[in-house]
Amino acid sequence: MAQGENIQATLQTFVDNVVRLAKIEIGAKRKARRSNGKIYYKRIDNTGTLRKSLRGEVKAMPNSFEADILMEEYGEWVDKGRKRGKGVPPNVLFNKSGSGGWIKEKPIRLRDAQGNFTKVTDAKMQSLAYLINRKIKKKGIEPTNFLTDPFERKFKDLPQEIIEAYGLDVEDFLRFTIDKLNKEYKV
């Protein structure tokens, strides 16, 4: 086995496990509480876009290695949350040009002051986007840790595996080097 293959295989397994667990976390239903106190269940990723975008890459170089977990740009905010005082770009919540936005992807039905369902118009959707953004600025967004938790769980197992893999790679490298020297110098 060539030098770095054991480390790369171990890191690839680590990254694959973190991505697999993160996808499970995104798809799981979580308890939430409405403002009126009623409990309901919701998914983190209602469209599946974030889940589908999750992937891991491992690159091994001669003197180092790199492991990346890639996803949609907004995944970081879903995982870590958002602090108070900072809203989200309006076109993310509601995009009038037809490409959707979060509000159009969610199954939201608007009600009037009496609680009756009302007709959905662009103006009402923009008003809703404004109100949602105002609430995010005021209260922030709670973190879900869909990626952080699996990463931390799997990272605890990683150091020993890497040490073992690195030890195997050094052993393989030394054996290869000694064999090569033996052939060159006919010892």
Tens digit of pLDDT at every position of the chain (187 positions): 444 577 788 888 989 999 999 999 998 888 888 878 888 888 888 778 889 999 998 887 766 777 888 988 888 888 888 888 888 877 778 776 555 677 777 777 888 889 899 888 888 888 888 888 898 899 888 889 999 999 989 888 876 767 676 666 667 766 776 666 666 655 4
Q: What is the pLDDT of residue 55?
A: 92
Q: What is the pLDDT of residue 83?
A: 87
Residue type, 167: G
Contacts of 85 (CB under 8 A, 6+ apart): 137, 140
Q: What is the pLDDT of residue 3?
A: 45
Q: What is the rounded distance in angstroms from the CA atom of residue 11 to the CA atom of residue 13?
A: 5
13 is in which domain, residue-wise?
1-81+142-187
Tally of structural domains, the chain? 2
Q: Nearest 5°: phi and psi at 69?
A: -115, 120
Instruction: Indicate whether 19 and 66 sit together in one domain.
Output: yes
Q: What is the rounded distance in angstroms from the CA atom of residue 65 to the CA atom of residue 62?
A: 8
Instruction: Indicate whether 76 and 165 sit together in one domain.
Output: yes
Instruction: Indicate whether 32 and 17 sit together in one domain.
Output: yes
Left, alpha or beta for 166 (phi > 0: left; psi -120 to 50: alpha)?
alpha
Instruction: Indicate whether 68 and 97 sit together in one domain.
Output: no
Q: What is the pLDDT of residue 177?
A: 64
Q: Do 18 and 154 meet the contact criterion of CB atoms below 8 Å apart?
A: yes
